[in-house]
Structure 1
Amino acid sequence: TLARRLKEFDSPKPKRFLRPKPANRLKRDIPAGRLPWNESRPGALEIDLVEHNGGDSSGLFACTLSVTDMVTGYSRRQAILGKSQKAVFAALESILSQWPTAVHTLHSDNGSEFLNHHLLRFCKQKGIAFMRSRPYRKNDNPHVEQKNRQFVREIVGYARYDTQEAVAWLNAVYALLDPYANLFLPTRKVVEKSYEGKRIRKRFDQARTPFQRLIESGALKPEMEHMLKAQFETLNPLDLHDELEKIVA
């Protein structure tokens, strides 16, 4: 009875207003969701980080930053030592500065290496929409995840790389792999989905390389179109493949 009566009087203690934690504020400012599967405008990029820790996440080890355009399939990779926000942001900024089209959307997972004020501020300054995956929904980033398997794990494997020399070797691999994949390896893309009960039936278009899709889109920056066409005319896919075989052997 006494406690009930005391509630009627104002407490002499000052009221405390809890402020949201920085991580919660970031998640509030970065919407969660997935990009539409039928996006048609190049420049919608999915980004992810692949760890090369050999199954042991202790200590410092190399990571590969992977960036994929979900519309054209064009992709780039860059290895770094560690996964600090500063290192990841510097690598991403380097890749985006050489991207062949204008970028209008970035989509990442919920890792702290991406959800930070550096990247959020960068996207706002550049007029880029920044999105993140929904919690525990790994398939919200399907295009870059597929590239990670095909062009990272199947090429350099699951071993641990934790030295600057190993990072230099990874980047030497990607220097050969990226033009080979983008200029000469055709892929198919889903153009229609239909539902039959619980099953999803997909229809794919004719296989084309990311380079061909970029040309057809008309979204290439003039200087990048000239550079990619020059690469396509001068590079030999068989020579690139042989060099890749030698460097990863």
Structure 2
Amino acid sequence: MDETKLRTIAQLQEFLGATPEVKFTLAAGAGAGAGDAQRYEHISRVLKRFDYPRLKKAERGVVLTYLRRTSGYSRPQITRLVARWEENRLAAVPLAKRYRAPAAPFARKYTGGDVELLVQVDRANEDVCGPAIAHLLRRAYTVYGDKDYERLAGLSVSHLYNLRKSAGYQKLRVSFTKTRPVCNPIGVRKAPRPNGRAGWVRIDSVHQGDLDGIKGVYHITCVDSVSQWQVEACVEGISEAFLLPVLQAVIAQFPFEIEGFHSDNGSEYINHKVAKMLEKLRIEQTKSRARQSNDNALAESKNASVVRKHMGYSHIPKKYAKPINAFYVGVFNSWLNLHRPCLFATEVVSETGKIKKVYKNKDAKTPLERLVQLNEKGLVKFKAGITLEDLLAQAKEKTDLQAAREMQKAKADLFELFNKPKRKLQA
């Protein structure tokens, strides 16, 4: 391209507007090292043709944009080259490359044999700190006179770590670190054994999605192991500031005494503040065992069959945690326990003597109906001021269909709050 006909700033602006991209190519017959030389010559020619030092600020910006477009150089590099051109233009010193590749590569000071010696010293001393290894290398030459350590005797501590990161060292020295088990004294690592009695709850938390790196609300699922009496709650986060008050409210919503509290090994439940709260209530705290995925399976299955089914997977911002929790306390939890049937397993002994859990159609019943059966056997201890008759009377206030419709109406109002369109700004 012959760009020498561009003589005015207006012509440059038209050129920039009409050509979004221009690729700089070498002239025919140019050598491999002539690329920068031709670019420098082009930059000097343009600056001189437009008399760059006398241009206004806006006009200089157009020229610099034109040079970046035609030369392919970055903005900082064009700025440096223009500054150097202005500095040397009176002395008529042309732009030229001031850097070049070294004539010879840097000499290697430490050989592969030195790296092998370093590996031997590190292995024998079990990777002590760098200053200690450097001191041992120095002693090997100065005290014991081993000439093999002559170069390593002057090895600096900082370069010692560089050698440890080198490919030669890593090839000779491969170390494996086993996963260390977490030794947390909080809680007993075992599966709870309610022995058919109500009051041993399982708890788990489920996250309501991310959006642009922002966390959504967290749902807390707490369910009794035997009666499947379930309490749902919602918090903004699973830190202690949000979780402790909600845990107290969850435990308070159960109509019977809680004797066992089982969770996985997450830090939201395995911490000193939760342990102190449970100890004050005289509740045994247990946590899931390693490689025993069924220890907390009941709470996790409720996350899928209840939380995900009714709340979905879409992101819900944290600011809606209080309305969701109010929906749980006011409508949802009572519908779950008084009107929603659950399947209860029946243990059957097979021909081989193995106990299997079978879910029969006749075993479908609500958690309240299950409490009635447990109460007849004396396997449930109600809290003071709460009787089974009160719960049965509450369940008869509305039919199962009415309760389900009331829950669906409240849920629709709740989701309408989430999906409420934002007000458009008036012009």
Q: Relative to structure 1, is the Cα distance of residues 115 and 193 closer, same or farther in structure 2, using a 3 angstrom cutoff?
A: farther
1:224 is aligned to 2:378: no
Question: Residue 223 of structure 1: SS of its match in structure 2?
Answer: coil
Q: Please state whether the residue corresponding to 2:405 is helix, strand or coil.
A: helix
Task: Give 1:1-12 correspondences, 5 Å limit.
Answer: none
TM-score (norm 1): 0.78
Give unpaired runs (5+ residues) of structure 1: 1-22
Q: Is residue 322 of structure 2 the alignment partner of residue 168 of structure 1?
A: yes
Q: Kindly state the Cα deviation for residue 96 of structure 1 after the two structures are TM-superposed.
A: 0.9
Select 2:262's aligned residue among 92, 102, 107: 107
Paired with 2:359 and 2:266, the residues of 1 have a C-alpha distance of 32
Runs of 4+ off more than 3 Å: 56-60, 135-138, 193-197, 246-249
1:45 — aligned with what?
Answer: 201
Equivalent position amino acid for 2:223 in 1:
T
Percent same amino acid among aligned pairs?
26
**Greater fraction helix:** 2
Aligned to 1:214: 371
Cα deviation, residue 182, structure 1:
0.6
Aligned residue identity for 1:246: K
**C-alpha separation between the residues in 1 aligned to 2:289 and 2:321?**
31
Distance 1:233 1:83 in 2: 36
3-state secondary structure, aligned to 1:91: helix
User: Which of 1 and 2 has higher RCO (CA within 8 Å, sep 6+)?
Assistant: 1
2:185 equivalent to 1:28:
yes
Structure 2 CA distance, aligned partners of 1:39 and 1:91? 28
Q: Any idea what SS the aligned residue of 2:232 has?
A: strand
List gaps (5 residues or longer) in structure 2: 1-180, 413-427
SS at match of 1:130: strand
Cα distance in 1, alignment partners of residues 358 and 209 from structure 2: 38
Distance 1:57 1:103 in 2: 40
Partner of 1:139, secondary structure, is coil
Higher CA-based Rg: 2
CA shift for structure 1 position 239: 2.4
Q: After TM superposition, give the deviation of residue 161 of structure 1 in Å.
A: 1.3
Shift of 1:146: 1.7
Aligned to 1:235: 398
Normalising by structure 2, we get a TM-score of: 0.48
Q: Which one of 147, 157, 164 corresponds to residue 302 of structure 2?
A: 147
CA change 1:203–1:100 in 2 (3 A) is same
CA RMSD in angstroms comes to 2.6
Q: Which moved more, 1:69-78 or 1:234-243?
A: 234-243
Does the aligned pair in 1 maintain the 2:190–2:286 contact within 8 Å? yes
| Number of residue pairs matched by the alignment | 222
